[in-house]
Structure 1
Amino acid sequence: MQFTQGLERAVQQHPDMTATICGSRSQTFAQLSARTKQLAGAFAARGLSKGSRLAVLALNCDYYLEVYLATSWAGGIIVPVNFRWSPSEIAYSLNDAACQAIVVDQHHIALIPTLRQQCPDLKHIFLMGGSEDSGDILGLDALIHASEPLPNAGAGGNDLLGIFYTGGTTGRPKGVMLSHANLCSSGLSMLAEGVFNEGGVGLHVAPMFHLADMLMTMCLVLRGCTHVMLPAFSPDAVLDHVARHRVTDTLVVPAMLQAITDHPSISDFNTSSLCNILYGASPASETLLRRTMAAFPGVRLTQGYGMTESAAFICALPWHQHVVAEGGPNRLRAAGRSTFDVHLRIVDSDDREVPRGEVGEIIVKGPNVMQGYYNMPDATAETLRGGWLHTGDMAWMDEEGYVYIVDRAKDMIISGGENIYSAEVENAVASHPAVAANAVIGIPHEQMGETVHVAVVLRPGCTLELDALQSHCRTLVAGYKVPRSMEIMPGLPLSGAGKILKTQLREPFWKGLDRAVS
């Protein structure tokens, strides 16, 4: 399969149907197809053809989708960039992936001089929109209007579609290599759960660089649905877009779900068109889910559990399990059951399957599992050992195959849908001159799922305030990775082997909650 296959199907079946809506702009599938082919032609004319890496740094918009489609049509490899990263983190990903070009929007144009200086392989910089060229920055609209359409390069199946960067356990971000088949498999599996139906209107709320939204993009493209773009999240804007554009489906992280559900004026908006809300990427408390079901009584909730390495989909908890029957099982605490294309096992440290009800690590295999980490063969071999993706998530399974996540073997924090690896933050904290040792953990937060907390051991004679540590960390890592709370300790709890006991550090924060770290 090809990422662009759904676009061709939509043009065959309903060319005059609205394909994208972004602010005051809208276009049909026929128009989107024409722009995609011409933009692909512009890329190819500049040497960006099969196998070339093209990055995109932008807020959500219709141009983002065009870049995705045109890069794929030309046979290139897309590298979405997290716009919340620091300039040095952005430059690292571009250099690591050997990106030859980048597309930026007006919000990030100030970063161009830095990227030029730090990324020597970057040959082309394109500006989203831009009816005219500005020096050596080429506007996409100008390129499209001046270019001939390119025939489909034929990339698909196991050809690489994108390199999607996620946090690194040693402070080095990892480029997850996903093929056309990986993402198409996950997209078809999600469609089989009954979301994004024919004629649907999907609202892009989560950032489009995030793989959760990429999975939604895949579903909307495969189904030939309308894309409505929301540049940046706010609950008012979400509710307004739902009412104005008769949105039927959307995907959010729990922090967004909470803000929407608890909006004081929610009853002022007409949300009757909304059929499906998908949520995932971080823990959602049972109390939040109950409030959401009360606020949207006619809407189907579907939870998706997964990770970047699995093309974002492993388990699904469908709408009909978001019910607690009298005397029946409470499925709201489950991550769901394995999706249609996934083999899932829960195993011990020797990869032997454990009995139902016993905690072990989730491992999976299937057509959705990544090809590996770019330029990281050792990490790839470790994560995909034995032909199974080792998730690092600890869970148990009941007699009906429902998976209940209880903890993470990997020291990863998920805050507002963003993956934060503790070692990366610990490296930043450790570079402060007052810090002798530190350990970073995730602690529960009603809106964000988790926030970053650091336990610090100070050097003799030193003092440290949280705001000073935060200012220091902001120079090294993205703002969302900066610790939100801190405790000073005389020493960190250690195991007999000298390893920091993070489970012991987390315990007082998570004890007694209705949902553990997941």
Structure 2
Amino acid sequence: MHLTQSFHKAAIERPDAYATVFAERRVTFAQFIERISRLGGAFHALGVTHGDRIGMLALNSDRYIEYIFGTFWAGGVINPVNTRWSVNEIAYSLNDCGTEILLVDDAFLKLVGPLREQCPCLREVIYCGDGEPPAGTRGYEQLLRSSPAVRDAFRSGNDLAAILYTGGTTGAPKGVMLSHANLLCNALSALAAAPRPVVEATLHIAPLFHVGGLALVVQSALRQAKHVVLPNFDPGAILSTIVEESVNETFVVATMLQAILDHPTFGSYNLTSLTSVLYGAAPMNTTLLRRALDALPSSQFMQLYGMTEIAPVAAVLPASCHTPDGQKLGKLKAAGRPAPICEIRIVDPESGEERPTGSVGEVVVRGPSVMLGYWNKPEETAKALRDGWMHTGDAGYMDKDGYLFITDRIKDMIISGGENIYSTEVENAVLSHPAVQDCAVVGIPDPKWGESVHAVLVVRENHTVTAEEVIQHCRQLIAGYKCPRSIEFRVELPHSAAGKLLKYKLREALRNSQPREA
């Protein structure tokens, strides 16, 4: 199989059905395959050969989806650029993998000059906006009109498909190499792990440079669904688009879901078309999840656990675990059961020995969707891939029913007085307080205990709460030694584009500050 195969099929089976919808633009499957074959021709005319890297620095759009499949059609490798990065970070990713062609929209045109200065590898810039192409760039639509349609390169198997740079929670980006087989096997596995209602329209709101956004594109393409695309995250636009386009499925992270539910006009929309809500990329506290289940009774919820290096889904918590009867099984806090193509083990982080059922250790994953490795980083690759197993850096355990529970990142575990404290457990306790909107828990040096539990909070608008009230609330839910010993209030917390808390940034700030003791 190859990643463009679903569009070959759709052009025959559903030529007049819509493939993409963006603003006023609507493209049928017949038109879509013509456009990506011409985009492939344009890339060939610009010198792209098999395996060459093509980047895109842009907001979500229909042209972004064309870029993905047009690159595959040409035999190239996509390098979707993180739009939240600085110029230096972007330049690093382009130079690191030798990206020679970059597609840019209006939102990032101002970065073209600095990137040309810092990126000697960059030969061509393609302007993806609707205006006149700026000097030194080529117009996207003009290229499509002037380029001949070419034959599909039919890349497949272990051929490199994508280099996705991890924004990382450590601050060190690495280029994750994913093959055509990685992405296809994972998409099919994720669909098989939790059968979903029929999907005619998928809404893309997660950034397409992120593996979660890319995975939904591939899964939707396999089902010949209409790709409805919004340029960025806007809760009001999301709600109205679900209604207008009869959207059936979308993928969200916790921060997105909370913002949608908090929108002042949420209750005025008929969202019954939305039958499937996928969530993942970052932990979802059960208080927010139960609120969402009540607010969207027509939707099935499914959690997808994984990481970029696994392309990305390793485990799935199916909709059945989210129903009232399913919740009685006590699996709502689980990441899920291993996807059909994935084996998951829990091992001792030091010795690598498998841990007994119910014991916490490092989560390792094996299967055909595990990455080829990190681009130009053989030592990092060898450290992550050992004896065929991807070492995730997540701490977790498997219960007797084979459900995986994630307790923390290995590096985020707090050891206080010899006791292991998992920050996510403390965060869930803090977040269950009605006045708390967001929370991050980290360990800080303590002369007596080694580390103590420090919580950084964001309080909900029009609410107030004291540090002592939060701590007393936690004492009703978790053991006293796990409760925060110090509290810090902030307006916002640092998050990655995937919605993950960037705890390393909090730790850096805390090195030079003294938290207030409760």
| TM-score in same-fold range (> 0.5) | yes
Percent identity between matched residues is 43
Task: State whether structure 2 residue 334 is matched by structure 1 residue 345.
Answer: no
Query: Helix, strand or coil for the counterpart of 1:78?
Result: strand
Question: Which residue does the alignment assign to 2:240?
Answer: 240
Question: Which residue does the alignment assign to 2:128?
Answer: 128
Q: Describe the shift of the 1:483–1:454 C-alpha distance in structure 2 as closer, same or farther (beyond 3 A).
A: farther
Question: Which residue does the alignment assign to 1:465?
Answer: none
> 8 Å contact 1:133–1:142 — kept in the other structure?
no
> 8 Å contact 1:182–1:369 — kept in the other structure?
yes
Question: Which residue does the alignment assign to 2:355?
Answer: 354
Written as runs of structure 1 = structure 2, the 5 A alignment for 1:187-266 is: 187-194=187-194, 198-266=198-266
Q: Which 10-residue stretch deviates more, 74-83 or 188-197?
A: 188-197
How far apart, in 1, do the equivalents of 2:13 and 2:498 lie? 44
Task: State whether structure 2 residue 47 is matched by structure 1 residue 47.
Answer: yes
Whichever residue aligns with residue 351 of structure 2, its letter is D
How far apart, in 2, do the equivalents of 1:144 and 1:281 lie? 35
Query: Helix, strand or coil for the counterpart of 1:242?
Result: helix
How far apart, in 2, do the equivalents of 1:242 and 1:169 lie? 32
> 8 Å contact 1:162–1:179 — kept in the other structure?
yes
Whichever residue aligns with residue 277 of structure 1, its letter is V
How far apart, in 2, do the equivalents of 1:490 and 1:60 lie? 38
CA deviations on 1:419-466 (whole Å, 9 max, x unpaired) are xxxxxxxxxxxxxxxxxxxxxx99948598665979699xxxxxxxxx
How far apart, in 2, do the equivalents of 1:450 and 1:144 lie? 47
Q: Describe the shift of the 1:115–1:333 C-alpha distance in structure 2 as closer, same or farther (beyond 3 A).
A: same
Query: Helix, strand or coil for the counterpart of 2:302?
Result: strand
Query: Helix, strand or coil for the counterpart of 1:333?
Result: coil
Q: Describe the shift of the 1:179–1:196 C-alpha distance in structure 2 as closer, same or farther (beyond 3 A).
A: farther
Query: Helix, strand or coil for the counterpart of 2:394?
Result: strand
Whichever residue aligns with residue 397 of structure 1, its letter is M
Question: Which residue does the alignment assign to 2:466?
Answer: none
TM-score, with structure 2 as normaliser = 0.81
Whichever residue aligns with residue 75 of structure 1, its letter is G
Question: Which residue does the alignment assign to 1:294?
Answer: 294
How far apart, in 2, do the equivalents of 1:132 and 1:450 lie? 45
> 8 Å contact 1:132–1:142 — kept in the other structure?
no
Q: Describe the shift of the 1:224–1:262 C-alpha distance in structure 2 as closer, same or farther (beyond 3 A).
A: same
Whichever residue aligns with residue 234 of structure 1, its letter is D
Task: State whether structure 2 residue 74 is matched by structure 1 residue 68.
Answer: no
Q: Where does structure 2 lack aligned partners over 5 or more consecutive residues?
A: 414-422, 447-489
Question: Which residue does the alignment assign to 2:364?
Answer: 363
Query: Helix, strand or coil for the counterpart of 1:404?
Result: strand
Q: Describe the shift of the 1:168–1:332 C-alpha distance in structure 2 as closer, same or farther (beyond 3 A).
A: closer
Deviation of residue 167 (structure 1)?
A: 3.6
Question: Which residue does the alignment assign to 2:403?
Answer: 402
Whichever residue aligns with residue 229 of structure 1, its letter is V
Question: Which residue does the alignment assign to 2:110?
Answer: 110
Task: State whether structure 2 residue 82 is matched by structure 1 residue 82.
Answer: yes
> 8 Å contact 1:131–1:141 — kept in the other structure?
no
Task: State whether structure 2 residue 191 is matched by structure 1 residue 185.
Answer: no
Task: State whether structure 2 residue 98 is matched by structure 1 residue 98.
Answer: yes
How far apart, in 2, do the equivalents of 1:327 and 1:126 lie? 50
CA deviations on 1:146-199 (whole Å, 9 max, x unpaired) are 010010112111100010001457743100000010010111012214566555
Q: Describe the shift of the 1:170–1:367 C-alpha distance in structure 2 as closer, same or farther (beyond 3 A).
A: same
CA deviations on 1:461-487 (whole Å, 9 max, x unpaired) are xxxxxxxxx9xxx9xx99996946954
Q: Which 10-residue stretch deviates more, 3-12 or 275-284?
A: 3-12
CA deviations on 1:357-379 (whole Å, 9 max, x unpaired) are 11111111111100000000011
Question: Which residue does the alignment assign to 1:7?
Answer: 7
Deviation of residue 354 (structure 1)?
A: 1.4
Task: State whether structure 2 residue 316 is matched by structure 1 residue 313.
Answer: no
Question: Which residue does the alignment assign to 1:26?
Answer: 26
How far apart, in 2, do the equivalents of 1:484 and 1:490 lie? 11
Q: Which 10-residue stretch deviates more, 127-136 or 279-288?
A: 127-136
Query: Helix, strand or coil for the counterpart of 1:314?
Result: strand
Q: Describe the shift of the 1:141–1:488 C-alpha distance in structure 2 as closer, same or farther (beyond 3 A).
A: closer
Whichever residue aligns with residue 393 of structure 1, its letter is D
Whichever residue aligns with residue 358 of structure 1, its letter is S
